[in-house]
Structure 1
């Protein structure tokens, strides 16, 4: 009962302060962005700038071939800003690419050198074959360069025939996926919930030190762990409210909200305990900022692997935010992968408990500091 009354007291105090509403405001802001600004799936179209260095008759045949691949056969006249001049061009839009046809070789070179765009010159040799000149930026991989060298060796019809005859075996045919918008949510849940809690709980501690609350608490008969746990309880409440505020309007009934509750509580407990431990080594938020910044930057690294599967070294999986994001993705999919989520939650609970015990030991010694 003492712990509950301490938690209620801390919740009332926190509700009068600024930090309590940061996560709520961020959740509302994120929800508004997702509802009104983020599309369900992002466009992956590339933009290419081409100059056709060939007779007009051959150019017309080439452009007719591109037009056959365009959406509804549409061709659009456009005005491009090239070297501080407005120049006319033609736009062909296919499902994957936007082709801008330029009027000179100099314009194509300018778009590559100054605008860092994909640019090429397609010329016709005396024997009627096409010659492709690509302008590269210098950071392309050897694999990409080799692909450009062999891309036009074989006619497209032969390449397409080889692709069509290639046997493809699906290892799984019942794979559930999230839309591009929904795929961002696991990262949002980790950073707006658990990792924001890491920073905010440290801010709470330093604010109490500054206002003399901790010194006053030190002379009361209540144990230190109750004071720390009540702070964690406040962060758990704000994490749960802000997370459900974002997820429910976007995902409706698809996620397993009970599993989500378990993972949110355990990850918030882990992050808050880590924040308490870090704060115990510093006297104010400015001193602690460097340590908090390093930890949060480290936690951001797995998000790169999360969105770029081709870059996923084994060591990234040992960073706590990685299993957090994987757990939330599983929950949002609603695929009933409760063994993984409960295992991850159990690990965060155990590690969080160890961090909390260490924090309690530290604060017993430094509470008046």
Structure 2
């Protein structure tokens, strides 16, 4: 009962301060951006720059085939600015790429150098076959280079037919759901605005209490230190839950499993807040602690890169807690009732947070007044 009373008192005090509303404001801002600025799916359209080094009759046949794939069947004469140069080009727009036809090989080389885009020169050999000279950047994989070598060995119709006739076997027989590009970004938001922000904000609360003398006044009360620390964590949990629901409800509506979300949010917020307490216990003010907190948060960002770019997935990111936060929140957002996995993750964060909380309690018994 004393703990609950202490929590209510901390919640009341926190609601009068700036930090309490940081997460809530960020949640509202994120919702506005997602609803009005972020499309459901991002465009994967690429740009290609070509020069046809062949007789006019042959180039006319080639361009007719390109025009057939154009969205409106019309070529558009445009001017493109590349580096410090302005070039004339003919633009063909298909559903998955913009094809710019330039006037010389030198322009192709310049574009490849300045724009870092796919650029090629197409020539006609003596036997009437087309040859493709691609200008690469030097960092392409061997797989990509080999693909370019075989891409034009057969006609595009033959390649497409072969791809369509390939047998695809699913790795699992269970029904799977997919997320749009917008929805796929939600777990990242939940990790940082809903879970990891507590790492910074709880440290700010501690240093603010020291500065205003609240801690010295608290030391005169009979309440134990862990009551004070757990009450602070409780405030972080409330703001994390509130900000996460503000983000999810307008965007995902009732697709996620909100009960599972509540469990995972509480455990991850408890873990990150306890980690924040441990870090803050080694410093006297927020300015001294900022560097360490910043380093920890930057480290937590690394799994996000692998999440957004699946082809980059080094082994070491599996030792970073935010990797499992992302996986857990994605399972929740999918709403696929993966209770065992999410509960296992929540239990892991709860146990880890409890260990960190015991360590922080031990340290604050000695340093809280320092």
TM-score (norm 2): 0.95
For residues 268 and 261 of structure 2, the distance between their equivalents in structure 1, rounded to whole angstroms, comes to 10
Structure 1 residue 175 displacement after superposition: 1.6
Offset of 1:126 from its aligned partner? 2.7
User: What does 1:25-44 align with in structure 2 at a 5 Å threshold?
Assistant: 25-44=25-44
- In the TM superposition, residue 236 of structure 1 has moved relative to its aligned partner by 0.8
Which position in structure 1 is the counterpart of 2:182? 181
Structure 2 residue 261 is matched with structure 1 residue 260? yes
Offset, 1:317: 2.2
Counterpart mapping for 1:289-308 below 5 A? 289-308=290-309
Give, in angstroms, the shift of residue 154 of structure 1.
3.1
In the other structure, the counterpart of 1:215 is 216
Deviation at 1:72, TM superposition (A): 4.1
Task: Mark the CA change 1:10 to 1:305 in structure 2 (over 3 Å): closer, same or farther.
Answer: same
Counting matched residue pairs gives 369
- Kept in 2: contact 1:82–1:107 (CA 8 A): no
2-11 vs 44-53, greater mean Cα deviation:
2-11
**Matching residue of 1:23:** 23
Deviation per CA, 1:290-318: give whole Å up to 9, x if none.
Answer: 22122111211111221222222333223
After superposition, give the CA deviation of every residue in 1:250-305 in whole Å (9 maximum; x if it has no partner).
01111111111111111101110110011011111122122212211121111122
Q: Contact 1:40–1:181 at 8 Å: present in 2 too?
A: yes
In 1, the alpha carbon distance for the partners of 2:28 and 2:241 equals: 13
Q: What SS is found at the alignment partner of 1:73?
A: coil
Separation in structure 2 between the aligned mates of residue 354 and residue 52 of structure 1, nearest angstrom: 67
Structure 1 ranges of 4+ moved more than 6 A: none
**1:83–1:199: structure 2 CA closer, same or farther, 3 Å change rule?**
closer
Match in the other structure for 2:95 = 95
- The match for 1:351 is 352
Post-superposition shift, 1:161? 4.2
Contact 1:269 1:352 (C-alpha < 8 Å) held by counterparts: yes
Deviation of 1:341 (Å): 0.9
1:346 and 1:165 map into 2 onto residues whose CA distance is: 46
Q: Whole-Å Cα distance in 1 between the matches of residues 103 and 134 of structure 2?
A: 16
Structure 1 unaligned blocks of 5 or more:
none
Moved more, 178-187 or 98-107: 98-107
Q: Are 1:61 and 2:64 an aligned pair?
A: no
Q: Could you tell me how far apart the structure 2 residues matched to 1:317 and 1:90 are?
A: 48
Alpha-carbon distance in 1 for matches of 2:293, 2:106: 50
Show the counterpart of 2:365. 364
Matches within 5 A, 1:64-213: 64-82=64-82, 84-172=84-172, 174-213=175-214
Write the distance in 2 (CA, Å) between the matches of 1:252 and 1:160: 39
- SS of equivalent to 1:71: coil
Could you say which residue in structure 2 is the equivalent of 1:318?
Answer: 319
Measure the CA separation in 1 of the matches of 2:102 and 2:57: 17
Taking the aligned partners of 1:277 and 1:84, their CA distance within structure 2 comes to: 53
Q: Which moved more, 1:339-348 or 1:3-12?
A: 3-12
